[in-house]
Amino acid sequence: MPARELTRRSRVRELYAHPLGRDVVESLALQVGRSPRWIDNPFVGSLRLSALPRLTGGRIDDAFVDALVALMATVPDVPAPNGGPLREAWFKEAVFYQVYPRSFQDSDGDGIGDLRGILSRLDYLKGLGVDALWLSPIYDSPMDDMGYDIRDYRAILAEFGTLDDFDALVAGLHERGMRLVMDLVVNHTSDEHPWFQEALRDLSSPYRDYYFLREGDPGTPPNNWKSFFSGSAWRWFPEAGLWGLHLFSSKQMDLNWENERMRAEIVDMVRWWRDRGVDGFRLDVINYISKTPGLPDGNRLIGDLIGWTGMEHYFHGPRLHHHLRQLRAEAFDDPDCVAIGETPGIGPQMGKLMVGDDRRELDMVFNFEHLENPGKDRFDDYRYDLAYLKRYYTRWQAEYGTGYWMSLFFDNHDNPRFVSKVDPRPEHAAAVAKLLATIQFTLRGTPFLYQGQEIGMVNQAFTSLDQLRDVESINRAAELAASGMDADAVFARVVAGSRDHTRVPMAWDAAGGFTTGAPWIEGDGDHTINVADQEGDPASVLEWHRRLIALRRENRALVYGDTVTERSAKRVWRYRRRFEGSEFLVVLNLTDRPVRTSAPPAGAELLLASAGEGRDLGPYGAQLWRVT
């Protein structure tokens, strides 16, 4: 169904009826802790967009309204209300587990995790209940951004092993009834990729159009876009007299997806990996691949609001859906091949346009709004309020209906440990970890674990910037220092959000167990939370995960059932899962204090309880009841 075209004379209620407009309004409302129902006010809803600059005293200007209208034009369709009938699929029933190869298991004592190390731990993953392993990049890379800067799409970085090792890993997974999902990074390549090197070397090379390369004054970038890794999104190459676009590291050069030959090479590469046995792909920042033609300047006000000038020109570009449909049709054409999109900034309505069964684009998306409280970002040091998580997931579960499917995650390689964000006190770590696991394995959607999450690993007690290895953290520290911030404040700001908290080695035993050598990143050396100590302990976070995973596998209602949220106090979250006559009740205490909640239905069977009994839940307590 086509979306209604908006103009400056459109009314606010028409903006809210537009799928992207609704996501924008609801996201902003969440950020300020307000309900979007104010749009229902007849006066507000009837306002014309052109009147907003005058009514806001200039805080919203005409350029902002023009940019908003142009952004809405990139979305020509409205998602189907329910997305169609429920379709069962292996990836909906599966439990995914993300491995960060450099930090999972070292097999040769060089301090760097590798493919053989992962292979040696497959029985552990199988015993946990994992169905699919998601492997962060192992391609040949200069490792400027830890493998997300790919130099050769068809080679394995030597420190990880060889293609033979990769084939052995695939075989080991398939022998155990497990599948492999690879990270696919196709928004950008390394500046050391042969395509880019040839583009710089030869003025007439066809590879020059594979990237965004622009002539100009070395002191004046082609536009005002900002990089996510600090500074301008443009790098000057003096030897070629060209500017190159990089939304991320200055060594990660953005690909031009308008180039048909480049797209064909990407498709061919994907099929090459599929032929080696890969069962699916997680597509890195895939919603950034389409840019506004001409790469115009970003709106200043939008840049101030979201922190990155220019983002409105690529977070949902005009040809995004065309490119995704081509990938699905030509590269992921096997119905058993799962395609998962990392899509920063994409809300429920836009997510539907990517994952609806009728769309033939992606199967699931990763959205990150739930990882920070309203008005906060990753580098803020604060206690996360779980009441927001309740509001967020209640909204998404209601929006997605039967024809759309969610991903469910808390930890990954790009964020600190979520347990520590909720409550950094050691005495509450296990309870918080069990609470989060209960949410993840009882809501409707596919759970994605990140290595160490199943044992409740927490943030590291870093004491110096010298301990960090992440390019984002290092660049941010340099930028903050250059702004005049004192050294202690710089460290506090950077360490709060550093990605290195989740990139330290996996803790297999009290001595670490990751390597016989010196690990590539040390962390704080505290391995109190480890696999060996939790094995077989019924009170452990590890065994809690195993029981949850087993219950989800045995009960289709916990996979496919409707989610029905009950009325409850702000700090309590109660919801039911219903499917084919089976029903479960989940009761959660979202605080660090004991709470009393409504009694479970008569005859209900308590399957799991992390703290407290009956109506009484201990701090961060979680209960799972079988109702019928």
Burial 279-311 (b: 16+ CB within 10 A, else e): bbbbbbbbbbbbbbeebbebbeebbeeeebbbb
Q: Which residue has the tokens 């674990």?
A: 449
3-state helix, strand, coil in the chain (%, to 5): 40, 15, 45
**Of 339, 414, 379, 366, which Cα lies nearest the Cα of 100?**
414
Question: Among the options 159, 165, 342, 372, which is catalytic?
Answer: 342
**Is beta strand 595-596 parallel, antiparallel or unpaired with respect to 572-579?**
unpaired
What are the phi and psi torsion angles at 463 (to 5°)?
A: -120, -5
Q: How far apart are CA 251 and CA 510, in angstroms?
A: 38
**Of 102, 107, 36, which Cα lies nearest the Cα of 451?**
102
The 10 Å Cβ neighbour count of residue 271 is: 13
Active-site residue 26, yes or no?
A: no
User: Is residue 409 within 8 Å of residue 450, measured between CB atoms?
Assistant: yes
Residue 68 identity (one-letter amino acid): L
Chain centre to alpha carbon of residue 304:
23
User: Is residue 182 within 8 Å of residue 273, measured between CB atoms?
Assistant: yes
Burial 133-142 (b: 16+ CB within 10 A, else e): bbbbbbbbbb
**Is beta strand 234-237 parallel, antiparallel or unpaired with respect to 242-245?**
antiparallel
User: Is residue 101 within 8 Å of residue 157, measured between CB atoms?
Assistant: no
Q: Which residue has the tokens 């301008």?
A: 232
Q: How far apart are CA 73 and CA 132, in angstroms?
A: 38
Q: Which residue has the tokens 């169904």?
A: 1
Active-site residue 284, yes or no?
A: yes
The 10 Å Cβ neighbour count of residue 128 is: 16
Q: Which two tokens stand for residue 238?
A: 């003096």
Q: How far apart are CA 137 and CA 150, in angstroms?
A: 8
Q: How far apart are CA 72 and CA 151, in angstroms?
A: 36
Q: Residue 232 in 3-state DSSP?
A: strand
DSSP for 556-588, please give it: THHHHPEEEEPP--TTEEEEEEEETTEEEEEEE
Question: Among the options 284, 369, 372, 411, which is catalytic?
Answer: 284
What are the CA-CA distances from residue 265 to residues 231, 256, 330 (Å)? Answer: 31, 12, 11
User: Is residue 547 within 8 Å of residue 587, measured between CB atoms?
Assistant: no
Which residues is 582 bridged to in the sheet? 579
Helix extents (H) in 459-498: 471-482, 487-497
Q: How far apart are CA 182 and CA 101, in angstroms?
A: 11
Cα first-last separation, the chain: 40
Which residues are designated catalytic? 284, 342
